[in-house]
Amino acid sequence: MLENLKQQLLIMRTQLNPPPRYIIVHHSATDGTLLSVNEYHRQKWSFKSSLGWYAGYGYWIDFDGRITQLRDDREEQAATIGFNKCSINICCRGNLDIEQPSAVQIKALNGLISKKQLEYKIPNNNILGHREIANTLCPGKYLFNWLCKNYPSSGFSGRIKDDMRDV
């Protein structure tokens, strides 16, 4: 019986991806709740995580800074085409192109990034805003400017910085 269990664990393990190499930051682009995003993604992809969520991100950070884990760090995500098997995707609630992230949201994001960087030895250059690798405004200019200030430019297309005057 123990052998059976070991076998099962091995199978589960091999379905997981290698340790993540990137952290990709997103905004939800609306004020909608996690449950509404979850429902939207369920209808779009119906791709349920091992933690029971349909939302494609690895983590969700609410306005009050509360963090909800949606997918295992080594589980496939549904957030960034081409990077879903090698990245942790963190989504901050809100349209951060037109409003600033809240101070507690930034504090939570900073803490989560640091924790995951340490856990998986992810260098600063591999902390990316979604817009750096896709044609999108995500994670919004305010959050993207924060990323640019806090993490040096990446090895991809280079960061397209928004006008910093608004910050």
Listing from the earlier edge strand, what are the strands of the sheet with 67-69?
A: 67-69, 59-61, 87-92, 22-27, 127-129
Q: Least CB distance from residue 140 to Zn ion, whole Å?
A: 9
Please name which of 79, 77, 109 lies closest in space to residue 92, comparing C-alpha atoms.
109
Q: Least CB distance from residue 29 to Zn ion, whole Å?
A: 8
**Out of 93, 116, 130, 159, which residue is the one contacting Zn ion (CB under 5 A)?**
130
Q: How far apart are CA 94 and CA 63, in angstroms?
A: 8
Q: For Zn ion, which is the closer residue by CB, 26 or 93?
A: 26
CA angle (118 as vertex; 136, 65 as ends), nearest 5? 55
> Per CB under 5 A, which of residues 75..114 are in contact with Zn ion?
none
Residue 41 engages Zn ion in binding (rule: CB under 5 A)? no
Q: For Zn ion, which is the closer residue by CB, 49 or 84?
A: 84
Number of residues that bind Zn ion (CB under 5 A): 3
Residue 26 engages Zn ion in binding (rule: CB under 5 A)? yes
Q: Which stretch binds Zn ion (CB under 5 A): 6-14, 136-144, 145-153, 158-166?
A: 136-144
Residue 138 engages Zn ion in binding (rule: CB under 5 A)? yes
Q: For Zn ion, which is the closer residue by CB, 28 or 49?
A: 28
In whole angstroms, how large is the CA radius of gyration of the chain?
16
Q: For Zn ion, which is the closer residue by CB, 8 or 150?
A: 150
Greatest distance between any 2 Cα atoms in the chain: 64
Q: What backbone torsions phi and psi does residue 26 show, to the nearest 5 degrees? A: -130, 165
Residue 141 engages Zn ion in binding (rule: CB under 5 A)? no
Query: Are the C-beta atoms of residues 80 and 24 closer than 8 Å to each other?
Result: yes
How far apart, in Å, do the first and last CA atoms of the chain sit? 60
Residues that bind Zn ion (CB under 5 A): 26, 130, 138
